[in-house]
Amino acid sequence: MPESELQSLAEQLSLRYFHKPFVHEAVYNPRLRTTGGRYMLGDHSIQVNPEVERVHGREEMIGVLKHELCHYHLHIEGRGYKHGDRDFRELLQRTGSPRYCKPLAARQARRVREYTCSVCRMKYERKKRVDTARYRCGKCHGKLEETT
């Protein structure tokens, strides 16, 4: 949906569930990776991950907007707007807003690198690349070679 529709949807949801107007900006932010949306304290805008609707559909998008609107209205009123605050949890319950967003993508398995000592054949598995010119075998101080 275009950003104008997102803005309109946020305004409608605010009036319907919170009985208060949403007078700030709702925009897409494609840089969001691990979250469905976020409320910005500084400018009171709501940013939504565009992948939410593509992956999970419109209902999940509505849930994300309602969740962020809970943060928005509580912050504007000077009440507890954080996830751990009682005001926030109660407003989530009253409006039927989800506490969490469904996962957007399965976490990619990281490549495991294997290094072998050229002297004693000791094997080392690492997630991050090892500088073989700088690091040596912990057992015999032999030279390490990447095997995979």
CA separation for the pair 87, 90 (Å, rounded): 5
pLDDT, residue 42, reads 94
pLDDT, residue 108, reads 61
How far, in whole angstroms, is CA 116 from its chain's centroid? 37
H-run or E-run covering 92: helix 86-95
> What does the mean pLDDT of the chain come to?
92
- Taking only the tens place, the pLDDT of each residue in 74-133 is 999 999 999 999 999 999 999 999 998 888 776 566 789 999 999 999 999 999 999 999
Is residue 68 flagged as an active site residue? Answer: yes
Taking the domains of the chain in order of start, what are their residue ranges?
3-95, 113-146
pLDDT, residue 111, reads 85
Query: Residue 64 is encoded by which pair of tokens?
Result: 């994300």
pTM tops 0.85: no
Q: Which of 68, 77, 90, 125 is catalytic?
A: 68
Span 42-55, average pLDDT:
93
Query: Residue 58 is encoded by which pair of tokens?
Result: 């419109």
CA separation for the pair 122, 75 (Å, rounded): 57
Span 57-82, average pLDDT:
95
What's the CATH fold of domain 3-95?
Answer: Zincin-like (3.30.2010)
Per the CB < 8 A criterion, the answer to whether 129 and 103 are in contact is no
Span 68-76, average pLDDT:
96
